[in-house]
């Protein structure tokens, strides 16, 4: 555990290291690492050197002065979810020193120490920010939304049109149109809710899309695309996920057992919270298992989608396909990419431009995902609760009251309200209610 420094109330924190120093040190390199207990920055020095540091707000940064040192560094985070955003040089107070500015996403507790390793001398800045890693764990314990949340990702957008059909159809427009139809279907279903990674024509990088899904606490990510080939013949849909090299391992077999799986994952948060460095390998194991569980879910959901899609379109590939695509890399969210057809095939281009056809595709994906979540509802969701009791659906007719419906199914009004998360007694015509078994 690190010393607790309440940085929110402490604008400037100054501390001087205990280490002695002698003349010029060269700052050779900087390394940023993320581990289970947080992130750390390692400054490699040609020799041990004295340092001091303080923090500044707006923007949040940690300033590190290294005595009698030279060196130029420039580091930028690759992902937008990183704690350490940038490391750069700045003008030091005295000419003989070097000043490095660590731009951080937020000010968290940190500790600076000198490390002597066989390969050299380091100044280590250790940030106590377990958030990024624990956020990767499927949270069996933390409170979740009643709704199962499905992130729908319309491929491409903005300056990236995706593939372009022979008639000039842009893939980015087709994907967005299908995504919106799909969202409508999900949102009309009690217990399901869809969020879009983009809802208009703008660009988002593929690697940012899973981050958006995570931010929206998605239980599943479906990325919609249309295929293209340099000849007009290929046609049909295909469904893609990330490959699982460990599918045959003991872990994967263990994870086949759903109750064991949630038991293991439910413990993971606690493990991480209590973990010290020497527990890191165990935490990594838990994370690997999360990854395996996520992949297995991706496979299951893919197969549901394939079996529904083939009812409305020819399949280019009848089996699920594997690829290392950036949009599919969330370790904690089952992620699937659906190529709805070949925009380069004139017939399919025409179909994809037809709203009714797009609706058919959206409907089939909706049906598949609903079937999948009926069987595998996330723990703590409304559907998981209903699964235990049965789930008759009732569509409210005009003038029908909760009292009347409760009487008809011989259950209490309170039971219906609880099952559907209703706050009031009023109902809307055509509203679908899930009726728990009495």
Residues that bind Zn ion (CB under 5 A): 155, 162, 225
Q: How far is the CB of 169 from Zn ion (least distance, A)?
A: 13
Select 344 or 364, whichever has its Cβ closest to Zn ion. Answer: 344
Select 162 or 210, whichever has its Cβ closest to Zn ion. Answer: 162
Report which residue's Cβ sits closest to Zn ion.
225
Question: Among positive and negative, which fits the CA dihedral 243, 134, 155, 224?
Answer: positive
Q: How far is the CB of 181 from Zn ion (least distance, A)?
A: 18
Task: In whole angstroms, give the CA distance from residue 239 to residue 309.
Answer: 9
**CB-CB contact of 162 with 172 (8 Å):** yes
Q: How far is the CB of 156 from Zn ion (least distance, A)?
A: 6
Q: How far is the CB of 226 from Zn ion (least distance, A)?
A: 6
Q: How far is the CB of 223 from Zn ion (least distance, A)?
A: 8
Question: What is the CA angle 211-214-218, rounded to 5?
Answer: 135
**Bond prior to 59 in cis (omega within 30° of 0):** yes
Which tokens go with 177?
Answer: 């149109």
Select 157 or 436, whichever has its Cβ closest to Zn ion. Answer: 157
Select 96 or 167, whichever has its Cβ closest to Zn ion. Answer: 167
First to last CA, the chain: 50
Name every residue whose Cβ is closer than 8 Å to that of residue 221 and which is 6 or more positions away in sequence. Answer: 150, 151, 153, 209, 210, 213, 327, 328, 330, 333, 334, 335, 336
Q: How far is the CB of 171 from Zn ion (least distance, A)?
A: 5
The backbone torsions φ and ψ at residue 148, rounded to the nearest 5 degrees and listed phi first, read -80, 125
Select 225 or 385, whichever has its Cβ closest to Zn ion. Answer: 225
**CB-CB contact of 234 with 226 (8 Å):** no
Select 49 or 175, whichever has its Cβ closest to Zn ion. Answer: 175
């Amino acid at each position: 555990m690190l010393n607790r420094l309440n940085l929110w109330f402490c604008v400037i924190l100054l501390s001087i290291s205990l280490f002695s120093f002698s003349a010029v040190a060269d700052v050779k390199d900087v390394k940023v690492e993320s581990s289970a207990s947080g992130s750390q920055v390692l400054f490699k020095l040609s020799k041990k050197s004295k340092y001091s540091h303080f923090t500044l707000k707006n923007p949040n940064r940690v300033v590190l002065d290294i005595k009698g040192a030279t060196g130029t560094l420039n580091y930028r985070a690759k992902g937008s979810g990183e704690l350490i955003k940038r490391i750069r040089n700045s003008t030091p107070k005295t000419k003989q020193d070097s000043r490095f500015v660590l731009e951080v996403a937020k000010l968290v507790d940190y500790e600076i120490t000198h490390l002597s390793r066989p390969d050299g001398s380091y100044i280590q800045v250790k940030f106590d920010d377990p958030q990024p890693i624990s956020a990767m764990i499927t949270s069996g314990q933390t409170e979740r939304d009643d709704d199962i949340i499905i992130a729908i990702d319309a491929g491409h957008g903005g300056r990236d049109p995706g593939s372009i059909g022979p008639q000039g159809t842009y893939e980015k427009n087709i994907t967005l149109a299908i995504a919106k139809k799909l969202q409508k279907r999900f949102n009309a279903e009690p217990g399901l809710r869809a969020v879009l990674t983009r809802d208009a024509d703008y660009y988002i990088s593929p690697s940012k899309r899973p981050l958006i899904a995570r931010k929206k606490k998605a239980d599943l990510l479906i990325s919609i695309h249309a295929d293209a080939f340099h000849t007009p013949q290929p046609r049909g849909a295909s469904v893609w996920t990330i490959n699982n090299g460990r599918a045959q391992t003991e872990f994967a077999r263990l994870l086949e057992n759903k109750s064991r799986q949630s038991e293991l994952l439910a413990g993971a948060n606690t493990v991480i919270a209590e973990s010290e460095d020497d527990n890191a390998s165990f935490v990594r194991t838990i994370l690997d298992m999360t990854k395996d569980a996520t992949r297995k879910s991706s496979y299951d959901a893919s197969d549901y989608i394939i079996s529904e899609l083939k009812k409305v379109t020819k399949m280019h590939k009848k089996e699920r396909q594997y690829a290392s695509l950036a949009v599919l890399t969330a370790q904690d969210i089952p992620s699937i990419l659906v190529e709805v057809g070949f925009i380069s095939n004139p017939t399919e281009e025409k179909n994809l431009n037809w709203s009714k056809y797009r609706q058919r595709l959206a409907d089939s994906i909706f049906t598949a995902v609903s079937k999948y979540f009926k069987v595998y509802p996330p723990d703590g969701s409304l559907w998981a609760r209903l699964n235990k009791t049965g789930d008759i659906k009732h569509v409210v007719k005009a003038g029908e009251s909760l009292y009347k419906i409760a009487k008809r199914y011989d259950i209490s009004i309170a039971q219906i309200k609880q099952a559907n998360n209703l706050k009031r007694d009023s109902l809307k015509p055509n509203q679908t209610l899930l009726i728990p078994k009495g």
